[in-house]
Structure 1
Amino acid sequence: MVRQSSRQLVLGFFSSFSPPAWHAASDRLHGADWASGAFHSRLAKRVEEECFDFLFFEDTSSVSRIGGSMDLDLANVYSSPKNDPVALLPFLAAQTERLGLVATASTSLYPPYLLARALGTLDSLSGGRIGWNIVTTSEKESAQNFGMDDLPPVAERYDRADEFVEVVSKLWDSWEAGAVIADVERGIYTDPAGVREIAHEGRYFKVRGPLNSAPSPQGRPVFVQAGGSDKGRDFAAKHAEIIMSTTIGGVEAMKSFREDVQGRMKSFGRDPRECKILYLARVNIADSMDQFRASITDEQIRTVLGTHSAHLGIDLTRFDMHKPIPQDAVTNGTTSMFDALKKKGAQGQSIRDVMIDFNWGDRNNGQIGKAGDVADYLIDMMEEAGGDGYLIGATKEANANFLSGIFDGLVPALKERGAMQRAYGSGATLRERLFGAH
């Protein structure tokens, strides 16, 4: 008899507006029409058909210079080519009806007024289905594309992000919900009493406001964040409505993350029920975990090492992948993943094995195997660790075989167990479907 989940999970699907399968072991040109949006149009329709809560897009803004050259990046699709996911969202919104759409945008690179206006417009175009993945950016090369020599330290980037969120929130609130009255008889389209300047003057930003665009269905997009460092977790606990954990190490690490973040939320006066905690799930459907892990080539490992190097700000390809990472290695990039890599290295785990855990599924998490077994593992982990759901990782290896494993294998298994919704709820917006109407 198939076991049953005690509740339905929140499920997002993780993608990138870039070649979807170039890092796969085979069928690497699957989705070669990605730049036109055609691949993601097909993907979004299937993700919506299966009733995922949202489709999520990561992003970066540079060609990385691993080892001092752009050559490795350009040859191996580490950070480039990659198109702007914010521009992709209205294209996908026009072809879907209920699916949430989440794009990444940086507080270190965007002006707050521009972002507030763009995402508010997207929320209106989509009927209230937009989410904003808030990042501070970790790539030096990205900073140099926006007039900076380098990025500030992590702590300062989060201080700036705090003020950025304050500014965009004021801008989204600068129009009251009923400000647009469209009164033909009196000849008044917008009630002036319902719109106000924000007159913000802070350490990093000076913005008069108000927005010159009308309120969107949600008022503001759903705030998404993946803070892993100490400052990042504080930021997520203070602002986010969806917090994504990329922690590796199994159920204990998941539980520890949830307890820590929810404790921080309480310290900021927030109710933990105001936020959904999702864990990144590197899922692969295969006959067995050992068989799948053994099939991963050193070439694939070098590819993902290059990808992570671009985000971490350190060239991981210069280390012997068959040995643990040196404990004296340092970075100013994405610290949480780097800390996990060093922790595993201190335990004697090689870079290769850690990369397999992080990119294809953690042996502790049991995310590689037959569809029913993986579904059971995911349900068991959630019930033991707590949290609300998963973000199914699918970047750079999303060929036909991988996608079939998810949509034709894992999804039916989750639905059979009552762990995944079979239809969207009655809420009109992404926020209402996640948290209910208020």
Structure 2
Amino acid sequence: MAASRFHLGWFLGNSFGVHGWNQPWSGIDAREWAQPDLHVELAKALERACFDCLLLEDSLFVPDNYGGSMDFYLERALRAPKNDPLPLVPLIAQATKHLGIVPTISTSFYPPFLLARLIATLDLMSKGRVGCNFVTSTAERAAQNFGLDAHLEHDLRYEMADEFVELATQLWSSWEADAIVMDETSGTFVDPAKVHAVDFKGRFFSSRGPLNTAQPPQGRPVLVQAGGSPQGKAFAARHMDIVIAALGTVAEMKAFRDDMRARLSARGRDPDSCKVLFVVTPTLGETNAEAEERVRRRQAQRATAPEITLAMMGSLTDIDFSTFDLDAPLAELTTNGQQGTLKRFLAQGRTLREVASNYSFGFEHPVAGTVQRVADVMEEAMEQVGGDGFMFNGPLSRRYVAEITDGLVPELQRRGLVRTAYAHAHFRDNLFAF
């Protein structure tokens, strides 16, 4: 039985930061890293390929985890410099007509009212095409940038996130959908009976409300989350419309989706009310051999420079991997940072050198070849997993974007696996159209 249609998104790691500054095919992007052009071009290409959404990752600190110094990260432009991605949202919205746009915010540091108003404004400006990716933030240095001596404990951050989303959702509903009446005869623009205070008082947050802008066109923007810990999955089951998972095998993907659907059912939600999208990073070539050679070169680079991978992982887990013997058997490690990420990372080898050489973020190693071979793998994976789609992740260069949007996706479209046109005006409606 062929796979049903599935959804496509693009997870843009490092977001409004530096991309490919010392890599082939980057053109002038290193010099122009602070300009929006590359991101706007990406969004246009995704819309041409009928993607559901573009997700803009973010972080709020300059790492110093590797070697106890910021030097390694700054010298290599790893996670810094990085601009705030939220100003990109209206630029992308103006350059597109259908694509969903999902900025990232931290529930640990944003005030809920500020976030609810900002996202409502963007949803109104884009006529219903904005989502919000919620992160709890994992880095000690990020917490210190916001006045804390140390970061909040992992599970407590998710308790805060739960209350944060509950309050934001109430604020988005504080204006009824038809509150704006624009009745010239009576001289009434807003019906006061349809705007309500929320009077929210929780353990972490309180807000009188209402918002001072109208209800978002989607009612509630599309809510997205990517935490893979038990607490993250419980949070997603309560609130989210999309869950993103970075897993390396079809068996892991199926187990994750089955688990999420069971959690949704246990919460009294329709399992189809939350889409699970899996991170995929294809390597494409005109022949299978060409693609496989590109994979071999990439793995060789990772093996000869493991510190790049280890420094990146250190910034996510607050662990200084420079203090470890690269060739010693791995011991069990714990973190107050990204627990699910650390677990998946350490499972990719017996030593840190092996892990760095083998490292993949999501579904990467099986998806190498011609567009036909990669489409075969993606189709078979979705058939076995049961849905709901993929979030592409890879180097932000015009070459790679074109390989996906103008090479791979047309093959998926020919097979009837992904949409060839948008059926609805709103992001949410397109997401739940199938």
Partner residue, 2:18: 19
CA distances 1:36-55 after superposition (whole Å, capped 9, x unpaired)? 20111111111111111111
8 Å contact 1:182–1:190 — kept in the other structure? yes
Mean CA deviation greater in 119-128 or 214-223 = 214-223
- Deviation string for 1:9-38 (max 9, x for gaps)? 1000121111222474x2345533231201
Match of 2:88 in 1: 88
Q: Which of 311, 314, 326 is residue 306 of structure 1 equivalent to?
A: 311
Secondary structure at 2:103 match in 1 = strand
- State the alpha-carbon separation in 2 of the partners of residues 30 and 230 from structure 1: 42
1:213 maps to what in 2? Answer: 213
**Does 2:254 align with 1:243?**
no
Aligned match of 1:335 in 331, 335, 339? 339
1:166-209, CA deviations, whole angstroms, 9 ceiling, x for partnerless residues?
11011011111111111222122111110111111111011111
CA distance in 1, matches of 2:74, 2:261: 40
Measure the CA separation in 2 of the matches of 1:321 and 1:90: 45
TM-score of the two chains, using structure 2 as the length reference:
0.92
**Per-residue Cα deviation, 1:248-290 (whole angstroms, up to 9, x for no partner):** 2x11100110111111111111110111111000212134464
| Native 8 Å contact 1:277 1:389 kept in 2 | yes
Question: How far off its partner does 1:362 sit?
Answer: 3.7
Q: How many Å apart are 1:318 and its aligned residue?
A: 4.1
TM-score (norm. length: structure 1): 0.92
One-letter code aligned to 1:272: P
Following the alignment from structure 2 to structure 1, what is the Cα–Cα distance between the partners of residues 386 and 331? 32
Alignment CA distance shift 1:23-1:306 (3 Å): farther
Worse-superposed segment, 80-89 or 168-177 = 80-89
Give the AA of the match of 1:220: R
Q: How big is each residue's C-alpha offset from its partner over 1:138-161, in whole Å with a ceiling of 9 and x where there is no partner?
A: 111111111111211110000000
Alignment counterpart, residue 361 of structure 2, candidates 338, 352, 358: 358
- The Cα of 1:329 is off from its aligned counterpart by 2.5
Residues 64 and 70, structure 1, Cα contact 8 Å, conserved in 2: yes
Q: Is the contact made by 1:5 and 1:418 (CA closer than 8 Å) also made in structure 2?
A: no
How big is the alpha-carbon RMSD for the aligned residues of Structure 1 and Structure 2? 2.1
The answer as to 2:397 corresponding to 1:435 is: no
2:116 alignment partner, SS class: helix
Q: Please give the alpha-carbon distance, in whole angstroms, between the structure 2 residues aligned to 1:281 and 1:301.
A: 22
Matched residue, 1:265: 264
Question: Could you tell me how far 1:303 is from its partner in structure 2?
Answer: 2.2
Aligned-partner Cα distance in 1 for 2:332–2:381: 33
Q: CA deviation at 1:399?
A: 2.4
Aligned to 1:295: 297
SS at match of 1:181: strand
- Misfit runs of 4+, over 4 Å: 320-324, 346-349
Conservation of the 8 A alpha-carbon contact between 1:323 and 1:350: no
- Output the CA distance in 2 between the equivalents of 1:23 and 1:375: 30
Pair 1:390–1:84, CA change in 2 (3 A): same
Q: Unaligned stretches of 5+ in structure 1?
A: none
Secondary structure (helix, strand or coil) at the match of 2:10 reads: strand
Aligned residues: 424
1:107/1:161 contact within 8 Å kept: yes
Residues 1:422 and 2:427 are matched in the alignment: no
